[in-house]
Amino acid sequence: MHFLGHVVRFIVAALVLMLVGFIVPQFSVGGFWSALFLALVIAALGWIVEGIFGTRVTPFGRGIVGFIASAIVIWVAQFIVGGVTVTWLGAILAALVIGIVDLFIPISTPFEAGRSERHRD
């Protein structure tokens, strides 16, 4: 994925997080810049979790463990990003809403992108 693709991906993720902040009562994002920074932090924490535990523990694993890992990553990210407040229930609901949005706006994972590039060679 090229640089512009990553920028668009994070802008879309920030907009989704703002939408989630509007829908989920116990999930609050201060504004666009907080949402954009939150998207970057969630991506970085997700990358770390994926590196430690493998792809089965990420939201892209599509299992209950991935769902719980996603909620934990969202909850932990609030301590890194200013202007974001999330309760445990808010993190679980946010992970659910983000998962539903991901069904309609799929974004390929780095692992899927790497696999498709290897198959083209």
Q: What is the number of helices (H) and of strands (E) in the chain?
A: 5, 2
Q: Which residue, among 59, 16, 54, has the nearest Cα to 35 in the 3D structure?
A: 16
Q: Which of 84, 88, 58, 64 is nearest to 75 (CA)?
A: 88
Q: What are phi and psi of 106, to 5 degrees?
A: -70, 140
- Give me the tens of pLDDT residue by residue for the chain, a chain 121 residues long: 577 777 887 888 888 889 888 988 889 998 889 988 988 888 888 788 777 776 665 555 556 777 788 888 889 989 998 888 999 999 998 888 887 777 776 655 444 444 444 444 4
Separation in Å, CA 88 to CA 23, 32, 68, 73: 16, 22, 11, 11
- Note the pLDDT of residue 86: 92
Question: What is the Cα–Cα distance from 11 to 39, expressed in whole angstroms?
Answer: 8
Residue at 98: amino acid letter: I
Residue 27 per-residue DSSP state = E
The whole-model pTM stands at: 0.74
For residues 60 and 70, the answer to whether their CB atoms sit within 8 Å is: no
